[in-house]
Amino acid sequence: MWVRGIRGATTVEQDDKQEILTATAELLRSIVEANDVVPEDICSVFVTTTHDLTSAFPAMAIRQLAGWELVPLMCALEIPVQPSLPRCIRLMVQVNTTRTQKEIRHIYMNEAKKLRPDIADAGAPKA
């Protein structure tokens, strides 16, 4: 078994607490579903936001999900390099897995698909 990082990012339309929490939960659920992991598989989750999101800690959304109470979470501010994508939330989910790097499915949603167009659609859960 290895520790692998699963990347994900999404954007919100405005700096609104509920919108930030909803988008964060949706992103995490998509990452978990696409990679078939459960909270017990998670080593930690590192969360960043751009400087223009100040209404909520995105980790709060993760804490509110059943089974995620003991998963270590850390929030930080994304480096403000210009021109950066505004109103962006990023996750780095570190998991214990037997999957290879190639088998990991990274998730990019909304405007964040622009960050990694090479893999943005490859990790999207099937409808």
Catalytic residues: 7, 63, 75, 78, 90, 108, 116
d(C-alpha 114, C-alpha 65), whole Å:
28
Q: What DSSP assignment string belongs to 17-74? A: HHHHHHHHHHHHHHHHHHHT--GGGEEEEEEEE-TT--S--THHHHHTSTT-TTS-EE
Element (H or E) spanning 84, and its range? none
d(C-alpha 101, C-alpha 99), whole Å:
7
